[in-house]
Every structure is written in C-alpha cells, then in structure tokens.
Amino acid sequence: MKRIEIDEEAIRRLAGLLDETGLAEIEIAEGESRLRVARALVPATVVAAPAAGARAVAPPAEPARPEPALDAAHPGAVTSPMVGVAYLAPEPGAPPFVKVGDTVAQGQTLLLIEAMKTFNQIKAPKAGTVSRILVESGAPVEYGEVLMLLD
C-alpha cells in the first residue's frame, strides 16, 4: 500500500485562507494528488439590547419550518451539486425561472448556481410541481443543501 505524504504546512496555509476569505472549503489538485480543506460554518446570532427607557418589542415570529433533514428525505428534493451562490432568475430584474405552484418538466432549468464565476443551470431531476423554494436569490449555498422541493 502506497503511503500518502501529507504537507501540513500546505494544509495550515489553506485553513488560513478559509478564515481570511470566509469560504467554507478549498480544494486544489495537481496531477493525481488532491487536497481539500473544509470547515463547517456556524451562523452567528446577534442580539441587540434595547435602548434605556425604550419598550421591548417582541421580534416577529418566524414561520414554522420543517427540519432540513426532513427536506433532504423528500423524494422530490432538489439539492445543490456544488458550493456557490444561488440565483432564482436569469438576470437581475427578470422573472424567476419558477415559482411555488409551477408545474415543471424533467430537465427544465429551476435556478442558477454561480461557482468560480461560472453560472451553472440546476435542472429539474423529474417532472412535478414546485411545492417549496428553500433558498433566496443571491444566497450562498453548500454542497448537498436542499434548494427546492418538487411534488
């Protein structure tokens, strides 16, 4: 069995680059060698204290949303094949590719994901009706993240 040589300094430099750029992962390849460094992003929660003498106002309640694991188990889940930025319309100001309630054909473009300055069409894996859109236009997406549900 061939032993894999690990360049710890390269890993440290790539990890530092993740911190500097805010990226979730970096992968480099040279010949048959590949090195991928990834980290889990933890969303920060910021709570502002009310000003002295001001009445506390309850924040609006967020609508109940099923767990992401339940969305991923849905037979019509459309997941992201890459890390990038999702766009629901072909260009700013244009109507979206699809809306909730639209009937789509297999292979129809649902949205775009921009990765490395390339726009990638995400197509419907099957025919159906768009029941939920789980991303906002311009939002970053991760590999495997559920983007839409088709029924």
pLDDT 10s digits, 117-130: 889 999 999 999 99
Pick the CATH number of 68-150 from 3.40.190.10, 3.30.1300.10, 3.40.50.720, 2.40.50.100: 2.40.50.100
What angle (nearest 5°) sits at the alpha carbon of residue 5, between those of residues 40 and 8? 45
- When pLDDT is cut at 50, 70 and 90, the band that residue 106 belongs to is very high
CB 74 within 8 A of CB 126: no
Q: Which carries the bigger pLDDT value, residue 86 or residue 1?
A: 86
At 19-78, the pLDDT tens digits run 777 777 777 777 777 777 776 655 544 555 555 555 555 555 544 454 555 577 788 889
Mean pLDDT for 76-97 is 92
Q: Which carries the bigger pLDDT value, residue 14 or residue 108?
A: 108
Mean pLDDT for 131-143 is 93
Query: What local confidence, expressed as pLDDT, does residue 103 receive?
Result: 94
Q: Which among 17, 39, 44, 148 is positioned nearest to 83, based on CA atoms?
A: 39
For the chain, what are the domain ranges?
8-38, 68-150
* Mean pLDDT across the chain: 78
Three-state secondary-structure class, residue 69: helix
Assign residue 144 a region: left if phi > 0, alpha if psi is -120 to 50, beta otherwise?
A: left
